Structure formats: structure tokens, C-alpha cells
Structure 1
Amino acid sequence: MSNTAIEVKKNSSLEKNSWWKNAVGYQIYPRSFKDSNHDGIGDLNGIRQKLPYLKELGVDFIWINPIYASPNVDNGYDISDYQAIHEDFGTMDDFQALLKEAHALDLKIIMDLVVNHTSDQHPWFIESKKSLDNPYRDYYHWADATKDQMPNDWQSFFGGSTWTYDETTQQAYFHVFAKEQPDLNWKNPRVRHEIYQMIRWWLDLGIDGFRIDAISHIQKEPWDFKITDNQWAPFMNVSGIEMYLKELKAIFNEYTVMTVGEASGVPHHEAGAWTGDHGYFNMIFELEHCERIGEIGRQKGSIPHLKHSLNQWQTSLEEDGWNALYLENHDTPRSVSVYGDDSPEAAKALATVLLLLKGTPFIYQGQEVGMTNYPFSSIEELNAADTIHFYQTLLAQGTISTDALAIAVNWSRDHSRTPFQWEDALHGGFSTTEPWLKVNENYRMINAAQKDLKTSSIFHHYQALIRLRKQTDALIYGKFQLLLPEHPTVFCYTRTTQTESWLILVQLGRKQTTVSFPDSWDYSKWEEIVTTVDAKPLEQLMCLSDYEAHIYRKTTI
């Protein structure tokens, strides 16, 4: 038995649903993907150069983080013009060339849609600030305030008040993120009309869908709302949001596109209203599984919580709905560092867990080659505004600088934003000049070129899993069941249809452990299809160690 998936005949009796259910996605953070014009910043033409690489990996669509015109306070999530490309990334002609070439390779393009807020440099907000009676004043949330007294004491996600005082008009404006990211007032029908026009403009251009950023925050509670246990409750999945989401859905339904909402604050038991046959989006990103354990500053991801949370989402959306699956993205550290030990074995084990769950998997750039967290040694090496603010807050509280740095960077978003490691060359092959963010020095061993040197590479394991998934109806539509739910490190589940069963068995640790299965099973009927180690037949008692992963199949007809 080897790491290569065998051909698996598809069960044609199962209904084939929308294209995104059979697809695997790939997330690109363009600033860090590939620099084509030697300025140290990734760009659209760099993505074009690497389309064959993505096709070779086997993905079906690309989600591109914001490339719009922006002052880059929050790396593109502060948009100043929704229908212009930031000069760092190229031009609209470059984007259209990328779209055309991707489609020629049968790769779809998903854009980031950021409509909870704009940049404070957006023309709407510049007008809004001019006077109390400006026609654009009500495009944003303004309230009476003084320098010393804000409308309430709500705190933003980036730290500090959700309000910023404006001397000119003697009012404050509202923002759940940075002060340079004022929130749009969705209660204003003119705002919604402008947003919907922009959405149609992009869809008419030919893109294949949207990942909708921070969409669960667009509705706010009244300013006198009293917080009890959840400090984010005033602007997270607030009642009344459904009216706006239904309007968005109606627009999306005019096109054959995929939509995935970033829905923080939406619990698994409410997910059916957000996704599924009658939901607002095709799928949503949940944030419940990202729990940390350990000493502050040395926290890791909790594998028991990961199992428990993913199980809840798998079962909650079993009959109606669809999961958007991920272990890392541009807002989280690297999964091989969070849940593993930075090793190829850990990267393969995590890939095995992720890619065979029920839902649409999203691979984040570099995940498929095992990119790890960066060993930040000074605050000057960081770019993420929230990390820097956290560090400064810790210093102000009296934390010594070395401890403050360790605590602040532990879960920093910049771990996943370091430039892509293409090869063992200057700057990891990302650029010929000093990049905007440092390249991890381990690029000499961890890089995409390893796929051409070793058939046992992490890249080839991803390839094999993607191929296996696409060839197997049970791994797309089959029922999910978690086994060994209380085991602290073994992630084991089945995917089952009427004609076959699959068992995914993964040890997420190096320590040797033994697991047992029911004595009523006929173990002779289970065939090992993929493994990351030597072949091992399925038995009632299994001894596992060192991040080993096994995939077994049993035909039931």
C-alpha cells in the first residue's frame, strides 16, 4: 500500500448536487503568494504564473483575498473603491486576464466581498464626515458624543472603543474593527442599493462567487443595549439581520455562483438558517473550532475541542446545509504548528482529517507544502495591526517586553501571511527583492519545489486525497459519524452510503496509543486505500503513533 489513491468507481445512483459540493478550494492571500514585478509584493500576474501549479494540485476554485483599492490599514479589508484594483496588485486588465486564464484551465475565481464596513478613505465616508446634513451622513453610524463620553462602552475586535470622535461635527462614528474601517449603515436603503449594484457589477464581469466577509456583523443592537456575558453580542448575529441576508440571497440566486459567508457568532444549531436549501448562503465559515489551550503565550489548538466542534457542525448540517471546511486561513496561525509539531507527518495527518470530512475543503496557500509559523523575534517584524495593538496594551499593563512579544505573536495572523515558499532560493522564490513581510528561514527545506524531488511530499499527499475525494461519492455525500469521541489525540470517523463505508483513522500526536473497535466488525472486509506509513490492516486493536494516518474502505454490496 502506498500514499497514492487508487481509482474508485463513482456511484452514479447518488444525486449530483451543485458544483461546489464536489469541489476543493484554494485560498490565496495575494500580497504573499507570488511577486511578478519584483517590488516585494505579490500580485495578480504572480497568481497567473502559478495557475498551472494550482491545476496540478487538483483544486477547482480559488478564493482571492481583497485586491481592491485600499489604504491597507487592514491589508485590503479597508476598501476605498470597490470597483478598482489596488496598484500593488496590478490593474483591472490584469484581473480580467487572470479570470480568463483561470477559466481556460477550468479553475473558478471567488472574490472577497467586504460590505460590513469601508475604509475611512472611501468617498462615501469622506462626504459623510463633512456635515450633519450631508447626503452621505446616514451611510454610516453616527451618534452624539463628546471627547470623554462615547455613546456606549462597547469594545472593537481590534481593541479599544467601537467609537471614534469627530471634532468637526461633534459626533462619533461606529466601527467594529479599526477606526479606519467605519461600519456601513445597512438600515439605509440607499446603502444597500449601492452595495447590490456593486455586487452585480462583479458578477456580470464573470466571477464565480463570493466569500462574504464579517457578514454576521451588519446588524447592530440599539446603542443602549446592555452587555451581559458576550462582549460581541451587540453586533454579532443580531435579530433583524435576516432581512438583509434574504436580499443578498435574491441577488446571488440570479447567477450560478458559489457563496460562503464568514459567520462568526452563528452557532452550529442555528446554521441551518444560514446555509442549506433555504439558507442565505451555500455554506458558511464557522469559528467555533478554534479553541486554544496551554500557558498564555504558548497556546496550541485543542484537539479534543477540534473533534467535538467539527462533530457538532457535521451532524447539525447532515440533513440540510453544507460545511465550509478549513484548518487555517489568513486570520489564523499555521495548522501544522497549532495542532502539530511542524513536521511533514503532522501536515499529512491534518490533511487526511480535513479533506475527507463532509463539506467543501478550503486549502490555504502553503498548507499543502507544510508551511509553519514564523519565529518572530521583535515587534518590528510584524504587520498585523491587532497584534501590534495587543503588544502595546500588554506593555502598558506592565508586562515585560519579551513576555509581551511571546503572548502577542502566539496567535498572530502574520504567521499565515509570510510569503509563499516556492523553492530553495533567495526569499524562497517569492520575489527577487526584500518582501513586504519576512520569509521563514525554513524555506530551504519547506517549499513547493519539494513536490518534484519527493513523491512522498506533503503536496503529493494532498493530491492523492483530493483525487480520492473526487472519485468517491461516499466521501462527498456519505453520512459522517465520529468514532472514539473521547480519545485525546486520535481523530477517527466514518463516511457511509448504502454501498460502501470508509474509515478515516488519524493519530494527531507522536505518543504511542492503542484504540479498539467493535468485535462485531468483519475486519477482513476492510481494505486499506491510503496510508502515510507502512500498510497496516484494520484490526480490533490498533497501535498508532507519530501522526500516522490510514484510510480504509469496505464495500457493503
Structure 2
Amino acid sequence: MKNLIIVVLTIICTTACKDKEDKTELKDQTINIESKTWWKEGVLYQIYPQSFKDSDGDGFGDFKGVMEKLDYLESLGITMVWMNPFFESPLVDNGYDVSNYRAIHPRYGTMEDFENMLAGMKSRGIKFVLDVVVNHSSNEHDWFKQASSSRENEYYNYYHWWPAEKGEPPHRHSLFDPEGGWDYVEATNAYYLHTFAEAQPDLNWENPNVRQEVYDIMKFWAKKGVDGFRMDAFQFASKDTSYPEFPEGHEKDFIKWYAMRPQLHEYLNEMYKEVMEPYNVFAVAEGAGTTLQDAHDLVDEDRKELQTAYHFEYVDMARTTEGYTLKQFKEVFTKWDKAFSEKGWLAIFLSNHDNSRLVNRFGNPRPEFRTVSTQMLNTFLLSMRGTPYTYYGDELGMTNIDMPTIKEYVDVAALGEYQRAKANGGDLDEFMKQLNYNSRENSRTPMQWNDEKNAGFSTGNPWKKVNENFTNINVAAQDKDPNSVLNHFRKMVKLRNENKIMVYGDYQLLDEDNNETYAFTRTLDGRELLILLNFTDHDSKIDFPETKKIEATLINNYNSLSNNNGIVTLKPYQAVISELNE
């Protein structure tokens, strides 16, 4: 215990007692403050549209359903909404296979419905981020239909082709297709490239006509009032058109071989000049390469490319049931925060449409701990430097849905992975165990609004089964409970919105070797906040420095905080934010 006291006292005193005239520190904070902007200060809420709210009883969420819930969104305090694709699509990959970028799939409504929804958000101070899928299109897009009709067609070079007379194309791994990334078209006597599903041919970004088509699409939506763009799979957009042979087993290091080619930066700079700068919108690309420098090269302000880095290192830690240690979790977040403390900006997230539920991966879904552990995780998410991204339902503590057999899955990624495991002679029982835990279908179940039929999501037959726990986990019940996950989330968002220290303040990790409690401070303009988070299902002790006093407790997901002669005992998954003074 004495060693722990020394560690914590030393770290905190180093943070609190450093010379106030430290010119380097003042310079660092000036950089962060001078570059402040709305998309840094905002809180983003991600909506998976077909699972959010169905207004017409067809079983699919739609724009009018979202409009019914605009007051709910406003009540959360969020300032941005990112919505997954709703363009015309054959829906092989739930809309990430676009057949018309300027038209809306009928299941979601009309363009007028979209415009009304957007106006409703704007009137409530909520900005809109569009999901743009331009690494690839659908094979039902008119571009590809024409391209696959003849090599002489003007759209042939909108895609990547390997002429059959050259023999078998060099192997390319496909993330969704176990047979690989090339497929043959008889009319062209050539193979087309697809990094994802067979129905998602990769666009040829090396063709300037393709790039201009994309910029024109983005301008179309910017003129509609869209405030930002999330660039799906964009780190894969640039390809080496000589199609060299990759070494055997290269797919195990997929990003290295398939992503972040140097030309990508030329294209992003071009996009910035054509779209971002003149329309005053921001962009975040899915993925940030393999190194911190890769991420900086994408988002540092002087690069004039993207504005926010969205990396996967910490969500990757929890992709299997083997889990991770809290020390590893802290190391990753601290490393990225330090790297971006002076330049660039991060998106902070723990879940999205491609990962299973927040509480199952990083918290504890057991009934006795689900509420407090989700509150703790939301406290963490909204306390870190960077723009927090919250996925719909995580403000309630929605959980994974049990799907132990492959016949229950419809996701193209899950089905492709299963076929690959089967073809390779893998342990299918173990595969299904991991899939049931980490499948992205877990995060796509209908929003749980109340304890009525289908959780109030739809009067019809929902496109995906509603989680059976909706009678206990739903908006209506939590709205009335001041201690619910929902109301805790609202308190946290309000605290962040009203205190710029939560956005721009310096971050300092405390007691880094503690594998039960995550403790850190945020400091700005003479203020200091202490954040204490217990990541375990039992009491955990941490030594509080005598050099500091709690001036006020701003957030606590329990009714009290045990502080006995400087030793703080945190209850299971307790989360506390305190204002400190000397």
C-alpha cells in the first residue's frame, strides 16, 4: 500500500505542482484552444437507421421514425448525428453497397422526408454527419453495369480490372468473400476487384473522373445542409494499379498491404480543396493506418486533408472472449492522447455498428452490474479528450443478443467468415462462440423504446429480432428513473457541454499499474478535474493525495464516495468526477 501511495502522490503532485509559468505547457494549451471548433466540442450520436424507429409498420426504421424521436435526441444533449447509409441499394451489406448516391432507398422515405428530418435536427441545434461509401459501389450501380458491358465503355476504368488474357490475377484477400477479391465478368473477359463482398466492386480512385464524381456527390449533400462526412473504408481507396504479387500470408497484416498508399493523401488534399474548405464541412475517415504518424498525416491541420482520426486499436483489444487487461486499455488510450495533445484530433468511441455492444465488451452485462458498468463506461467516454461518439442504445445499456447458430445470421461479413472457417477446417464450435460474442449483428437489434410489443420499435414484424430484455431495458422506464443509465448519460453530456475542460483540458494518467481502477486528471486554465473509474465487479481502493482536496463532486453513479484518511474505496464499477483544489 505504501508503494501505491508514493506512486499516486508523485504522479498527482507532478501534475498539480508544476511551475505555473512553464512556457512549453502554456504553448501546448494555446495550440488546443486556438484551434477549437464545433466538431471538437460536440457529442456525436450514431443512428443505425433501419433499427432506430419504424413509423409505418414495415419492420424497418425510417426518417419519419427518427422525426418522431427528435425531442428524445435533443433531451440527450448530443450535438451531432451520424447516420449509417440510406441511399438506394440492393442491401447486400445493409446499405454499404450503394446503387445511387443521390437517391434514397424507399424503406427510409423520400428526399422530402430527409430534408424535413434534417430541418428538425437543425432547429434543435443538432448537426448531421453523412456516411459516404466511396471505396466501392454496388454492382447494381449504373457505373458498374456499364463498366461490365464492354472494355470500350467509358465507365470501364471507373473500376479495377485484370484482363483474363494475362492469366489468373494476383491473389487479393477479400474481407467478406472467402474465395478472394477478384470476380470474372464474361462480357469484358476480365476480373474486377472487390475488397469487400462480390457485390461491392472497388472504385478506381486513380481515375480523376471517379474522384470528381465523388466530390460532386459530396457537394450535392453539402448543399442539402449536411455538416460533415464519415468516409467509409477510405484508407483502402487508393490501389497500386500494377497489381503486384503480395507475399503468402500477407492478409494477416491487411492494413499494411491494402491501405494508406501515398497517393491517398493527394486525393484527400484534392477533396479538401473541392469540398471541405468551400462548404465548411468536416470529415472523418474510417481507420487511421497502422502508426501514429499515419494518423497525423491524415488529420493534422496543416495537412489540409481530414479533420478527425478514427482508429481501432482499443476496440480491437476486445474482439474475443479472451479479453484484455485494464493496464493495456489505459496504455492504448494514453498513448493516443499523448500523440495528439498538440496537433490533430481524435474520435473517442467504444462501440459502433461494426462491433458488439459496449457493455458486453468493456463492462459487465449481468443484471446486477449492467447499469453501473455502463454508467462507468459512458463516464469514461465523455471524460476523454477528443470527440466522443456514442452508438444508439448505449445510453440505455442495451446488450448483445444471443445467437448461437449460424442460421440466425444475415450479415454478409458473418456468413463469409463462417464459410472461410469451415473451408479451412476450423473449430466451428469455437468460431460460433466468438461470433456470438463479437458479431456486429449484436449492435443492430431494434432500439428499445418501451415495454410494449417489439419494444415500441415497430407495429409490424421487425427486420431483426428484438432483444428479450427490452421489458427491463428501455427508454420509457429509464426516463423516469433518476439513477438510470439514460439519465446518467444526460448528466455526463451536460457536464461536457458546459465545461470546456472536458474537451480541451490536458490529460494525465495516474497510477498506471493499477489493473482495477482507471484514474486520470483533466486540467485547463487553473482548473483540475479528477476522474476515478473502477473497472471491476468488486470494491477497489486507491490512495487520494493529501496535497489535494475535493472541492465538489460533479458526477457519481453511486450515492456516496468512501474516503477514509485519504484512501478512497470505489464500489463495483463506480465512476466519480471531482473538482480539485490545492
TM-score, structure 2 normalization: 0.88
Mapped partners of 2:111, 2:550: distance in 1: 56
Tell me whether 1:224 sits opposite 2:244 in the alignment.
Answer: yes
SS of residue matched to 2:315: coil
**Which residue of the partner structure matches residue 94 of structure 1?**
113
* Preserved contact between residue 214 and residue 264 of structure 1 (Cα < 8 Å): no
* Preserved contact between residue 89 and residue 100 of structure 2 (Cα < 8 Å): yes
Tell me whether 1:233 sits opposite 2:256 in the alignment.
Answer: yes
Residue-by-residue CA offset, 1:219-249 (whole Å, 9 max, x unaligned): 1234115345623423211122110010111
Residue-by-residue CA offset, 1:450-481 (whole Å, 9 max, x unaligned): 23321101011111111111111211111111
Tell me whether 1:253 sits opposite 2:277 in the alignment.
Answer: yes
Equivalent runs, 1:69-468 vs 2, <5 Å: 69-145=88-164, 150-160=168-178, 161-221=180-240, 222-227=242-247, 230-250=253-273, 251-279=275-303, 280-292=305-317, 298-300=321-323, 302-342=325-365, 343-398=370-425, 402-468=429-495
Mapped partners of 1:369, 1:155: distance in 2: 38
* Preserved contact between residue 528 and residue 537 of structure 1 (Cα < 8 Å): no
**Which residue of the partner structure matches residue 6 of structure 1?**
none
Distance 1:486 1:152, change over 3 A: farther
Mapped partners of 2:286, 2:325: distance in 1: 22
SS of residue matched to 1:200: helix
Distance 1:299 1:196, change over 3 A: same
Tell me whether 1:482 sits opposite 2:502 in the alignment.
Answer: no
* Preserved contact between residue 262 and residue 286 of structure 1 (Cα < 8 Å): yes
Distance 1:299 1:92, change over 3 A: farther
* Preserved contact between residue 118 and residue 128 of structure 2 (Cα < 8 Å): yes
* Preserved contact between residue 395 and residue 404 of structure 1 (Cα < 8 Å): no
Matching residue's letter, 2:336: W
- Displacement, 1:275? 1.6
Matching residue's letter, 2:356: P
SS of residue matched to 1:369: coil
* Preserved contact between residue 176 and residue 183 of structure 1 (Cα < 8 Å): yes
Residue-by-residue CA offset, 1:9-64 (whole Å, 9 max, x unaligned): xx999658211122111000001000001000000111111110000010011111
Matching residue's letter, 2:570: L
* Preserved contact between residue 419 and residue 437 of structure 1 (Cα < 8 Å): yes
- Displacement, 1:132? 1.5
SS of residue matched to 1:101: helix
* Preserved contact between residue 256 and residue 290 of structure 2 (Cα < 8 Å): no
**Which residue of the partner structure matches residue 543 of structure 1?**
569
Mapped partners of 2:322, 2:437: distance in 1: 7
Residue-by-residue CA offset, 1:367-387 (whole Å, 9 max, x unaligned): 000000111133232221111
Residue-by-residue CA offset, 1:309-340 (whole Å, 9 max, x unaligned): 21111111110111111110000111100011
Matching residue's letter, 1:223: Y
Matching residue's letter, 1:255: Y
Mapped partners of 1:20, 1:97: distance in 2: 23
* Preserved contact between residue 116 and residue 215 of structure 1 (Cα < 8 Å): yes
For structure 1, which segment, 251-260 or 269-278, has the greater mean C-alpha deviation from structure 2 after superposition?
269-278
TM-score, structure 1 normalization: 0.92
SS of residue matched to 2:261: coil
- Displacement, 1:171? 1.3
- Displacement, 1:525? 4.7
- Displacement, 1:495? 0.6
* Preserved contact between residue 263 and residue 284 of structure 1 (Cα < 8 Å): yes
* Preserved contact between residue 388 and residue 408 of structure 1 (Cα < 8 Å): no
Q: What's the C-alpha RMSD, in Å, of the aligned pairs?
A: 2.2
* Preserved contact between residue 285 and residue 306 of structure 2 (Cα < 8 Å): yes
Specify which of 85, 90, 105 is matched with residue 66 of structure 1. Answer: 85
SS of residue matched to 2:493: helix
SS of residue matched to 1:290: helix
Residue-by-residue CA offset, 1:252-278 (whole Å, 9 max, x unaligned): 111222322212424223322222322
Q: Which runs of 4+ in 1 moved over 6 A?
A: none
Tell me whether 1:22 sits opposite 2:45 in the alignment.
Answer: no
Matching residue's letter, 1:178: A
Matching residue's letter, 2:45: Y
Distance 1:38 1:299, change over 3 A: farther
Percent identity (aligned) = 34
For structure 1, which segment, 494-503 or 138-147, has the greater mean C-alpha deviation from structure 2 after superposition?
138-147
Tell me whether 1:51 sits opposite 2:70 in the alignment.
Answer: yes
Q: Which runs of 5+ in 2 are unaligned?
A: 1-28
Mapped partners of 2:33, 2:292: distance in 1: 26
* Preserved contact between residue 385 and residue 505 of structure 2 (Cα < 8 Å): yes
Distance 1:350 1:150, change over 3 A: farther
Matching residue's letter, 1:387: A
SS of residue matched to 2:299: coil
Distance 1:301 1:436, change over 3 A: farther
Q: Which runs of 5+ in 1 are unaligned?
A: 1-10
**Which residue of the partner structure matches residue 33 of structure 1?**
52
